[in-house]
Chains A and B, each alone.
Chain A
Amino acid sequence: MNLQTISALVLRYLFLYTRTPMRMVELVFWPVVDLVVWGNVTVFIQKNTNPEFGNFVLFFLGGMILWDIMFRAQQGVAISFLEDVWTRNLLNVFVAPVRTSEYVSATFIVGFLRIVVTAIVLSLISWFGYTFNVFTLSWWLIPFFANLMLFGWSLGMISTALILRWGQAAESLAWAIPFFFQPAVAVFYRVEDMPAWSQPIAWCFPPTYIFEGMRDVMKSGSMNWSYLWTSAGLNLLYLALAGWLFLWILNLTRKRGLLTKFATQ
């Protein structure tokens, strides 16, 4: 992999974000809306129920913030690809000496940068607006963020592969795919509160361990380390599978001659 190529591709996305302030607004707008709605609901429930239940409601805010980390990572990959489609630049990139691994790495970095921006904004608003300090999660935040980012990248590659296969008609998948997983990964509730038949499914996905861990840390200050290792292991598996799917579909589009139609439409 050539680092200069990756940095050039990242530079292209940075230019895009700095040239188009509306993209920065989009990056912050929806997370802030989510946070304010959930924050207000949290405050409302805290005031109208017993204090113990009110504390549990804080899990919503933690879940919401961590969910957004995963969502932004996925968006970083999928939307970066779509930016090249929308601007008819994809062909220029595919006929330049850019390896697929370099292209995907650049979108991962953009995903990471999106996370940093979103996380900072949400942390500040949740602290000043709702006295919810995300840093009560302490150093656990780092493996939480890392694992959610890895799963977001996997979903981003899957979204991109599907868009490559089915063209722009499938571009809504860039936004929809994370939400296919949301009910299954126990973002806002415990796995044990899910229907029994769905619990084994929930444990198949890396974020489930992170959201469960987050609630443990918020409750007791620590969590089961095996959650972290299982999540990391599953993430490596999902990354490998997503990478394979992406390469397989890219090759398929080349074989069927779909890439050029898609890139110039």
Chain B
Amino acid sequence: MSAPPDTREVILEARELTREFDGVKALDRFSFQLHRGEVLGLLGANGAGKTTAMNCLLGLTLPTGGELFAFGLELQRHRIQILQRSNFSSAYTALPGNLLVGQNLLVFAKIYGVKDPKAKIAELMELLEISHLSKRVTGQLSAGESTRVNLVKAFLNDPELLMLDEPTASLDPDIADKVRKVVRKVQRERNIGILYTSHNMRDIEEVCDRVIFLHKGRIVCEGTPTQILSRSSSSSLEDVFIKIARDGEIVDEA
């Protein structure tokens, strides 16, 4: 039985997105829709095409084929307009390590045109339980603290669309759990659409409403975590992940 169509507004859409590098397709006619208030997980082994997809969606890499839309606007043509309503956080980027946390956040609050930057920063830092870090040097933070500071940056402009690239990478289970909970809390309160990549299946089960598994740039499996598990012979998403990474497909029980 297929799920009823999602009637919420589509805030991000890729149509036949293709990206080739030296004749190799990192993304092959990749299409998906992300709805307002939905958390969509993008999964796949290293080299599956997740990062390429994310980079295309952020406008950092130009696709070699297909189209991208956010809020109904063509991405390349309305990049600034779209970025004002979006935000991004990745475990692989950092805020300048030589500035104080408060200074970094103030700079980005001003870039995003936040009305009362200091109040907004204080509110978000409190939400993420890092108010005490404001005067700390960013480069001296632990991985967990750094992730939460990056999340404050990502929430600064009250984004309608958020892209999170492995937000819990290199975090201990306790901090990872806190991060997942706060992401889910803010997402629900503010009805944010989130595109979420992770290698941590616990993240995916707890945070994502729907997931897409990529293999060699193509979608091999899509649905809610429960739907995917029911379609496969695996007992956990982690097994599905491994099966797809090794065989490129999940074996339907039917």
Residues of chain A from 65 to 119 with CB closer than 8 A to chain B in the complex = 83-84, 87-89, 91-92, 94-99
A257 interfacial contact with B, CB 8 Å:
yes
Flag the segment in B89-97, B188-196, B226-234 that touches A: B89-97
B60 interfacial contact with A, CB 8 Å:
yes
Total interface residues in chain A, CB < 8 Å:
33
B107 touches A12 (CB 8 A): yes
B153 interfacial contact with A, CB 8 Å:
yes
B155 interfacial contact with A, CB 8 Å:
no
CB-CB under 8 A from A260, the residues of chain B are 51, 55, 60-61
A19 touches B60 (CB 8 A): no
A225 interfacial contact with B, CB 8 Å:
no
Shortest CB distance B186–A (Å): 19
A5 to B99, CA, bound (A): 18
CB-CB under 8 A from A254, the residues of chain B are 59-62
B96 touches A89 (CB 8 A): yes
A255 interfacial contact with B, CB 8 Å:
yes
Interface positions of B (Cβ within 8 A of A): 19, 21, 51-52, 55, 58-62, 80-81, 83-84, 88, 90, 92-100, 103-104, 106-108, 110-113, 153
Q: A5-B111, A254-B62, A260-B60 are in contact. List 10 more A-B contacts (CB 8 A).
A: A12-B96, A89-B96, A92-B108, A92-B153, A94-B59, A95-B59, A257-B19, A257-B21, A259-B61, A260-B55
Which 4 A-B residue pairings sit nearest by Cβ, starting from the closest? A8-B110, A87-B96, A97-B83, A12-B107
Q: Can you list 22 contacts pairing A with B, beta carbon distance less than 8 Å?
A: A2-B113, A4-B110, A7-B110, A9-B107, A11-B110, A12-B103, A12-B104, A16-B98, A19-B98, A19-B100, A89-B93, A94-B58, A95-B58, A97-B81, A97-B84, A254-B59, A254-B61, A257-B61, A260-B51, A260-B55, A263-B60, A264-B90
